[in-house]
Structure 1
Amino acid sequence: MSWIYINDHFLEEDKAAVNVNDLAVQRGYGVFDFFRTRDNKPLFLDDYLDRFFNSAKTLFISLPVNREQLKNVIYALIGKNNIPESGIRITATGGYSPDGYTPAQGNLIIQQQPLIPVSEEKKEHGIKIITHEYMRDLPAVKSINYVMGVWLQKQVKEKQADDVLYVKNNLITEFPRSNIFMVNSGGKLLTPANNVLAGITRKKVLALAPEILPVATVDISLHELKNAAEVFMTSTTKRILPVVEMDGIKIGDGRPGAITKALYKLFTQMEERTIK
Structure 2
Amino acid sequence: MSQSIHDFHDDPRNAGIRIWINGELKPRAEAVVSVFDSGFVLGDGVWEGLRVVDGHPAFLDEHLDRLFEGAKAIALDIGLDRAGLTRAIHDTLAANDMRDGAHLRLMATRGPKRTPYQDPRASAGAATVVIIAEHKVAKPETLAAGLKLFTVHVRRGYPDVQDPKLNSHSKLNCITACIQAIEAGADEALMLDPHGFVATCNSTHFFIVRKGEVWTSSGDYCLGGITRANVLRICRENGIPCFEKNFSLTQVYSADEAFTTGTFAGLAPVRSVDGRKIGDGSLPGPMTARLQTLYRELAKRDVANRWPTA
TM (norm. structure 1) is: 0.92
Give the residue type in structure 2 aligned to 1:172: V
Residue number in structure 1 paired with 2:11: none
Corresponding position: 1:91 with 2:107: yes
Residue number in structure 1 paired with 2:308: none
Residue number in structure 2 paired with 1:140: 165
RMSD (CA atoms) = 1.9
Residue number in structure 2 paired with 1:46: 61
* Equivalent position to 1:164, from 179, 185, 189: 189
Residue number in structure 2 paired with 1:101: 118
Residue number in structure 1 paired with 2:286: 258
| Aligned 1:92-131 pairs, distance under 5 A | 92-98=108-114, 100-103=117-120, 104=123, 105-119=126-140, 121-131=141-151
Q: Structure 2: where are the runs of 5+ without partners?
A: 1-15, 305-310
Asked if structure 2 preserves the Cα contact closer than 8 Å seen for 1:126 and 1:255, the reply is no
Give the residue type in structure 1 aligned to 2:299: E
Corresponding position: 1:20 with 2:35: yes
SS, match of residue 244 in structure 1 = strand
Partners of 2:179 and 2:299 in 1: how far apart? Answer: 34
* Equivalent position to 2:45, from 11, 30, 43: 30
Residue number in structure 1 paired with 2:274: 247
Deviations along 1:1-30, one digit per CA (max 9) or x if unpaired, are 111111132222211222111221221221
Give the residue type in structure 2 aligned to 1:239: G
The percent identity for this pair of structures is 28
Partners of 2:145 and 2:32 in 1: how far apart? Answer: 41
SS, match of residue 104 in structure 2 = strand
SS, match of residue 173 in structure 1 = strand
* Equivalent position to 2:208, from 175, 178, 182: 182
SS, match of residue 272 in structure 1 = helix
SS, match of residue 63 in structure 1 = coil
SS, match of residue 201 in structure 2 = coil
Deviations along 1:215-274, one digit per CA (max 9) or x if unpaired, are 111122222222222111000111011112001011122233211111111111222333
SS, match of residue 200 in structure 2 = coil
Partners of 2:131 and 2:145 in 1: how far apart? Answer: 34
Partners of 1:35 and 1:79 in 2: how far apart? Answer: 15
Change beyond 3 A, Cα 1:68–1:275: closer
Partners of 1:24 and 1:122 in 2: how far apart? Answer: 31
Residue number in structure 2 paired with 1:269: 297
Give the residue type in structure 1 aligned to 2:65: D
Report the CA distance between 1:152 and its aligned residue.
4.5
Give the residue type in structure 1 aligned to 2:255: A
Corresponding position: 1:77 with 2:92: yes
Report the CA distance between 1:35 and its aligned residue.
0.2
Report the CA distance between 1:154 and its aligned residue.
4.6
Report the CA distance between 1:46 and its aligned residue.
0.8
Change beyond 3 A, Cα 1:15–1:125: closer
Residue number in structure 2 paired with 1:196: 222
Partners of 1:220 and 1:106 in 2: how far apart? Answer: 41
Q: Which has the higher contact order (CA 8 A, sep 6+)?
A: 2
Asked if structure 1 preserves the Cα contact closer than 8 Å seen for 2:79 and 2:127, the reply is yes
TM (norm. structure 2) is: 0.82
Change beyond 3 A, Cα 1:188–1:153: closer
Change beyond 3 A, Cα 1:154–1:203: closer
Report the CA distance between 1:153 and its aligned residue.
4.4
Corresponding position: 1:205 with 2:231: yes
Give the residue type in structure 2 aligned to 1:190: W
Asked if structure 1 preserves the Cα contact closer than 8 Å seen for 2:137 and 2:265, the reply is no
SS, match of residue 152 in structure 2 = strand
Q: Structure 1: where are the runs of 5+ without partners?
A: none
Give the residue type in structure 1 aligned to 2:34: N
Give the residue type in structure 2 aligned to 1:106: A
Asked if structure 2 preserves the Cα contact closer than 8 Å seen for 1:183 and 1:230, the reply is yes
Report the CA distance between 1:124 and its aligned residue.
3.1
Partners of 1:139 and 1:148 in 2: how far apart? Answer: 10
Deviations along 1:145-164, one digit per CA (max 9) or x if unpaired, are 22243344454334332111
Partners of 2:21 and 2:295 in 1: how far apart? Answer: 33
